[in-house]
Chain A
Amino acid sequence: MAEIQIKNVAKRFGAYQALHNINLTIADQEFMVLLGASGCGKTTLLRIICGLETATEGEVWIGGRRVDHLAPKDRGIAMVFQNYAVFPHLTVFENIGFGLRMQKLPDDEVKRRVERVAGLMHIEMLLKRYSGELSGGQRQRVAVARALAMEPDVILMDEPLSNLDALLRMEMRAELKGVLAESKTTAVYVTHDQVEAMSMADRISVMHQGKIVQAASPIEVYRNPAAEFVASFIGNPPMNFLQATSAGDGKWTVAGRVVDGPKGAGKPLQFAIRPEDMQPANEGLKARVRIVEPLGAHLLVTCDVDGAMFRAVLDSDMVVKPGEILTLAPQPDRVRWFDPETTLAVA
């Protein structure tokens, strides 16, 4: 049982505020992904949980125990590093067993545990090798096995797949998800790759400029972004935005068309829709096609709507030519609204 609670954590590096008042609870056995662009503070937050960095303010609790004053070794955590950090002077066996040896476990127990996790990560045949004799993917497996061998309450991962090539990354992604689900540990996973986040997470915390903008399930983050940043960060291509002006109660004018929207509020809003949530129809937004990119599974069309860039993902059988005018009907239940002043979602 290890729930992680982060209470009012802030971090300053000199005058630079890396984290602003972070509050986050990660449930026992939950797979939490910290997602954000580089420099958003996600790695700093992970390192504060780990104990490699100390928070300027706030508390970190793991499993009902306050740990922010404890050394990493006393927190019941294990960490997987981006560059693997496999010890070059030890064999794979001794790398995986390193933490167990530090706990002074008997030889046969070390051997049993190392062999178990090596089997889990499919590296039984590499146990006698040194790090220099391994490929990147194999080193990655050793690093994960070394963390799992500790049987930690919490496993922390800092962009563990970012140094692997695309194909291997996809393979490891699925494997890691399976292994972690089976190990029943709480996992905190840092990444800048939204596909990784969407595919692995129970919950995603989207971070921006040292704050958590939204913490929710992948589908919730995708469907109901809490802020413009989330809407434009998640999804490839990201959400489309159009200016909307009030046209009376619950009616809004978007690109010359009147659509239903939030009630009240006289000030302008942002109308937002995902590129795949539009269909060609007789009635809808007039879009001048600029670029057509056939992507195989579908057609990515970049158009001009009311002077703003607008992308639509259409069926790959459609014939669309640049210069053409498309009429695109947004799926009404997928339309989202944002307040341009606060950048937050409006219900």
Chain B
Amino acid sequence: MAAPVPHPDKEPDAAPAASTRSAGRLLYLAGVILLCAWVLVPIYFLMINTLSAPETVNSFPKPFFPEFDLGSLQFFAGFAGMLAALKNSILVAALTMIMSIAIGSPAGYALSRFDFPGKELFRLLILLTRAFPLPLLALPLAVMFIQTGLDDTQFGLALVHTTLALPFAVLITFSLFSGIPIELEEAAWTLGCTRLTAFTKVVLPLILPGITASAIFAFVISWNEVFAAAVLTIENRTLTAFLLQSLDTPPLHLKFAGGFILVVPALIFIFAVRKYLFAMWGIANR
């Protein structure tokens, strides 16, 4: 709202000011294009190679347009263990999604509605959980998992992924709950609701889209995670871990197809929930 109002240019120096402005604009545009290309060009190449026949993928020069040949994808689907890995990925991501929302949204609600000592510190600590490099934790985790029998299980991996997704789940739901006026809940309490029924009848319907977004984000975090997956699973590898493991063995078109299958759902999901990810940092204009 409070955008600076440009000074009305006086006649004599209007020309230099205008040229400075257009130069700045050009620089800005170039920056935008560069950043877009940085992200989009690799994805484009990934798509071309995925949708081309295996022979084309291995030949040179590369085509600039996809042939829409499903040969690579078919080969990918037929590769031993690939479908099982895909299934594992989906299962682990779904478990992560459920657990991070089940644990994260009550925390978000508490942060938004209650005052308790150490609240600010708690918010900071939530983010700090992301400050520990996973490789540091991987070995003790693996040992612990083996001791408890959680190693090489989808549930065990989902637990690790949940800890990764939890900070975001808490912060997103915190911002969602804060967007709901407390008076709506209070009104519900005076109209015959308990805290729980006020939540299910008033708050939940209002934040459901945001909760869905937060859930999808947790799904994507798990879907993309490779390190913990590679360390903690052997038989029940997720797709990322499986592809990492087989990076040096299979033909080129398999890697492209695998990469494509990994990237596309994440891209679509993140695109769908982008509005709520901004909300997490409090800059949404809902």
B191 and A150 within 8 A (CB) = yes
For the complex, give the distance between the alpha carbons of A169 and B243 in Å: 68
The answer to whether the Cβ of B193 comes within 8 Å of any Cβ in the partner chain is: yes
For the complex, give the distance between the alpha carbons of A103 and B193 in Å: 9
The answer to whether the Cβ of B188 comes within 8 Å of any Cβ in the partner chain is: yes
Known: A71-B194, A73-B194, A102-B197. Is A85-B186 also a contact (CB below 8 A)?
Answer: yes
For the complex, give the distance between the alpha carbons of A73 and B187 in Å: 10
For the complex, give the distance between the alpha carbons of A248 and B93 in Å: 92
For the complex, give the distance between the alpha carbons of A52 and B185 in Å: 10
A85 and B184 within 8 A (CB) = yes
Give min CB distance, B61 to chain A, whole Å: 56
For the complex, give the distance between the alpha carbons of A87 and B187 in Å: 9
Give min CB distance, A20 to chain B, whole Å: 23
Q: Size range of the interface on A?
A: 20 to 34
For the complex, give the distance between the alpha carbons of A73 and B191 in Å: 6
Known: A88-B206, A89-B205. Is A98-B186 also a contact (CB below 8 A)?
Answer: no
Residues from 177 to 231 in B contacting A, C-beta threshold 8 Å: 181, 183-184, 186-194, 197, 201-202, 205-206
Give min CB distance, A134 to chain B, whole Å: 15
Residue of A73, A83, A89 touching B192 (CB-CB under 8 A)? A73
Give min CB distance, B179 to chain A, whole Å: 11
Known: A87-B202, A88-B206, A89-B206. Is A50-B190 also a contact (CB below 8 A)?
Answer: yes
Binding-face segment, A74-82, A310-318, A332-340: A74-82
Known: A89-B206, A102-B197. Is A81-B191 also a contact (CB below 8 A)?
Answer: no
Known: A52-B186, A83-B183, A85-B183. Is A78-B206 also a contact (CB below 8 A)?
Answer: no
Smallest Cβ-Cβ distance to A77: which chain B residue = B190
Known: A85-B184, A87-B187. Is A99-B205 also a contact (CB below 8 A)?
Answer: no
Residue of B181, B191, B202, B206 touching A99 (CB-CB under 8 A)? B191
The answer to whether the Cβ of A208 comes within 8 Å of any Cβ in the partner chain is: no
How many chain B residues touch A (CB < 8 A): the figure is 17
The answer to whether the Cβ of A146 comes within 8 Å of any Cβ in the partner chain is: yes
Give min CB distance, A117 to chain B, whole Å: 13
Q: Using an 8 Å CB-CB cutoff, how does the interface string of A131-158 with B read, 1 for contact, 0 for none?
A: 0000000000000001000100000000
B186 and A81 within 8 A (CB) = yes
> Which secondary structure dominates where chain A touches chain B?
loop
Q: Write out the residue numbers on chain B whose beta carbons fall within 8 Å of the beta carbon of A235.
A: none
The answer to whether the Cβ of A72 comes within 8 Å of any Cβ in the partner chain is: yes
Q: Using an 8 Å CB-CB cutoff, how does the interface string of A81-97 with B read, 1 for contact, 0 for none?
A: 11101011100000000
Residues from 38 to 57 in B contacting A, C-beta threshold 8 Å: none
Q: Write out the residue numbers on chain B whose beta carbons fall within 8 Å of the beta carbon of A98.
A: 188, 191, 201
A87 and B197 within 8 A (CB) = no
B183 and A81 within 8 A (CB) = yes
Q: Using an 8 Å CB-CB cutoff, how does the interface string of A103-117 with B read, 1 for contact, 0 for none?
A: 100000000000000
Give min CB distance, A142 to chain B, whole Å: 11
Q: Most chain-A Cβ atoms within 10 A of its Cβ — which of B181, B187, B197? A: B187
Q: Write out the residue numbers on chain A whose beta carbons fall within 8 Å of the beta carbon of B197.
A: 102
Q: Write out the residue numbers on chain A whose beta carbons fall within 8 Å of the beta carbon of B194.
A: 71, 73
Smallest Cβ-Cβ distance to A78: which chain B residue = B190
For the complex, give the distance between the alpha carbons of A103 and B191 in Å: 9
Q: Write out the residue numbers on chain A whose beta carbons fall within 8 Å of the beta carbon of B190.
A: 50-52, 72-73, 77-79
Q: Write out the residue numbers on chain A whose beta carbons fall within 8 Å of the beta carbon of B188.
A: 87, 98
Residue of B181, B193, B201 touching A83 (CB-CB under 8 A)? B181
A73 and B181 within 8 A (CB) = no
B205 and A72 within 8 A (CB) = no
B183 and A71 within 8 A (CB) = no
Smallest Cβ-Cβ distance to A102: which chain B residue = B192
Q: Write out the residue numbers on chain A whose beta carbons fall within 8 Å of the beta carbon of B183.
A: 81-83, 85
For the complex, give the distance between the alpha carbons of A78 and B205 in Å: 23
For the complex, give the distance between the alpha carbons of A146 and B205 in Å: 20
Q: Write out the residue numbers on chain A whose beta carbons fall within 8 Å of the beta carbon of B181.
A: 83, 85
B191 and A102 within 8 A (CB) = yes
Q: Write out the residue numbers on chain B whose beta carbons fall within 8 Å of the beta carbon of A88.
A: 184, 206
Residues from 22 to 78 in A contacting B, C-beta threshold 8 Å: 50-52, 71-73, 77-78
Smallest Cβ-Cβ distance to A97: which chain B residue = B191
The 29 sampled A-B contact pairs (Cβ below 8 Å) are: A51-B189, A52-B186, A52-B189, A71-B194, A72-B186, A72-B189, A72-B190, A73-B189, A73-B191, A73-B193, A77-B190, A78-B191, A79-B186, A79-B187, A81-B183, A81-B186, A81-B187, A83-B183, A85-B186, A87-B184, A87-B188, A88-B184, A88-B206, A89-B206, A98-B191, A98-B201, A102-B191, A102-B192, A146-B191
Further pairs besides A52-B189, A52-B190: 7, Cβ < 8 Å: A51-B190, A72-B189, A78-B191, A83-B183, A85-B181, A87-B187, A102-B191
Which 7 A-B residue pairings sit nearest by Cβ, starting from the closest? A102-B192, A99-B191, A85-B187, A85-B183, A79-B190, A72-B190, A73-B192
